[in-house]
Amino acid sequence: MALEMDNLHPSLRSGWHVLCRSNELTSQPAVFLLLNVSYLAYRGPTGKVVVARDRCPHRRARLSLGSCDAEGTLQCPYHGWRFNEQGIAVEIPAVPLGSPLPPRAHLETPAATEERFGMIFIALESPSTPLPVVAEDADPAFIRGDLPVLTTRGSAGLLADNFLDVAHFPFVHSETFGAEAEVAVPHFEVIREERSFTARHQHLFSNREDPGVVLGLRPLLQQRALTYRYTAPFHLTLTIDFLDAGGTNVIGFFLTPETATTVRIYSSLWRNDLEDSTSRMDEAIAFELAVIEEDLKIQSTYEELILPLDLNGEVHTKADRTTIELRRVLADFAKSYLPPSTVLISES
């Protein structure tokens, strides 16, 4: 069978995914879908982020219908079992106080949870890839702006493909920035690093926004470097360095496969050229949203919501070098996945 990546591919259990933004967490459970399964998340009183499957180990009721107390202990709404921030049952009202509690009375928690760039990343099984890196996030010269979370019909693999692709700019983005884009795709240098790659290209462009051009300090035609960084399964950043006028813009895309047919898009901008101007960041966010909406007109309408990983499944050209590398990395990611061996647990 041809290798392909769909939103529910088993290997995705070993990847990092954004479950939600940090500012969506409160002291009470909220529910988010990942790989067609509901997870609850809340922030305990010590600041700890608690994530667990929204299913009680007792009779599988939705734990998110329960509530947390001041200690961050979550109580199931059905029979009142209480679970601490580590997910361990600490009280079962139906059994006498002091009785031993079943060792399997604990929440189903992800293998790893991390908070980065204002987002909660989880890996359901031991992650086979590193967390994505955005070095600019720790640089005080940069400010971050978050786009609203978008939920769309689509394939996370196809969307990653789309956000790495430059050949569609003149056609899909003619009403935003595409009119200025070159039709022929320049050569991108692609450097592979395990389950990530970097693709770089430097070119001349007309910097119409540079006040230095009007003042005669710099020519209109200036150098700009584009750097795409991709990390499997579905994280990528585009860094634009304005080499003559100065300044760096970073656009990050973190795609969460929510169900077989839907994806949540988390996108943020990091910029060091806005002088802390909130209104200019708001404008930049509105512009980026318009660009993504243009992409989604195509991406949300695919009949088959899969990314073929076998290169014979589609026709490629030299201009597709970056997105061919995406298929190679994802093929390695998918092929190297080994489901955890079934562990037989004896009833105690």
Q: Which does 295 bind (CB under 5 to 8 A by kind): Fe ion, ligand FES, none?
A: Fe ion
With binding defined as CB under 6 A, does residue 122 bind ligand FES?
no
Site for ligand FES in 43-62 (CB under 6 A): 56, 58-59, 61
To ligand FES, the closest distance from the beta carbon of 86 in angstroms equals: 17
Tell me the closest approach of the beta carbon of residue 115 to ligand FES, in angstroms. 27
**Residue range at the interface with ligand FES (CB under 6 A); choices 76-84, 155-163, 169-177, 263-271:** 76-84
- Phi and psi at 159, nearest 5°, equal -70, -40
Within residues 216-275, the interface with Fe ion by CB under 5 A covers none
Element containing residue 215 per DSSP (H, E): none
- Residue 150: its H or E element: strand 150-153
Residue number closest to Fe ion, CB atom: 295
Tokens of 136: 């600019």
**The entry of ligand FES, Fe ion, none that residue 58 binds, CB within 5 to 8 Å by partner kind:** ligand FES
- Minimum distance between the CB of residue 321 and Fe ion, rounded to whole angstroms? 17
Q: Considering only 73-81, 141-149, 280-288, 331-339, which stretch makes contact with ligand FES by CB under 6 A?
A: 73-81
Binding segment toward ligand FES, per CB under 6 A, in 31-39, 74-82, 148-156, 316-324: 74-82
Cα-only R_g, the chain: 23
Task: HSE, CB side, 13 Å, CA atoms: give it for residue 275.
Answer: 0
Nearest to 34 by CA among 22, 19, 20: 19
Minimum Å distance from CB 134 to Fe ion? 20
Query: What would the x/- binding string for Fe ion be over residues 289 to 318, using CB under 5 A?
Result: ------x-----------------------
Q: How far is the C-alpha of 73 from the C-alpha of 81, rounded, in Å?
A: 10
> Out of 78, 177, 302, 337, which residue is the one contacting ligand FES (CB under 6 A)?
78
Cis bond leading into 233, ω under 30°? yes
Q: How far apart are CA 236 and CA 239, in angstroms?
A: 10
Residue number, 107 or 159, with CB nearest to Fe ion: 159
Q: Which is nearer to ligand FES, 76 or 134 (CB)?
A: 76
CB of 78 or CB of 205, closer to ligand FES? 78
Distance CA 26, CA 22 (A): 9
136 near Fe ion (CB under 5 A): no
User: What is the signed CA dihedral for 234, 240, 241, 247, rounded to 10 degrees?
Assistant: -110
Neighbouring CB atoms inside 10 A of 178's CB total 16
CA 134 – CA 269 distance, rounded (Å): 11
In this chain, which of 81, 121, 228, 253 binds ligand FES, going by CB under 6 A? Answer: 81
Which CB atom, from 66 or from 145, has the smaller least distance to ligand FES?
66
Residue 76 touching ligand FES (CB under 6 A): yes
State how far the Cα of 252 lies from the Cα of 209, in Å rounded to an integer: 22
Contacts of 168 by beta carbon, 8 Å cutoff, 6+ apart: 162, 295, 298
Q: Using CA of residue 65, residue 68, residue 73, residue 78, what is the dihedral sign? A: negative
Residue 61 touches which member of ligand FES, Fe ion, none, C-beta under 5-8 Å by kind: ligand FES
Contact criterion met (CB below 8 Å) for 240 and 229? no
Task: Summarize as ranges the residues that interact with ligand FES (CB under 6 A).
Answer: 56, 58-59, 61, 76, 78-79, 81
Task: Summarize as ranges the residues that interact with Fe ion (CB under 5 A).
Answer: 295
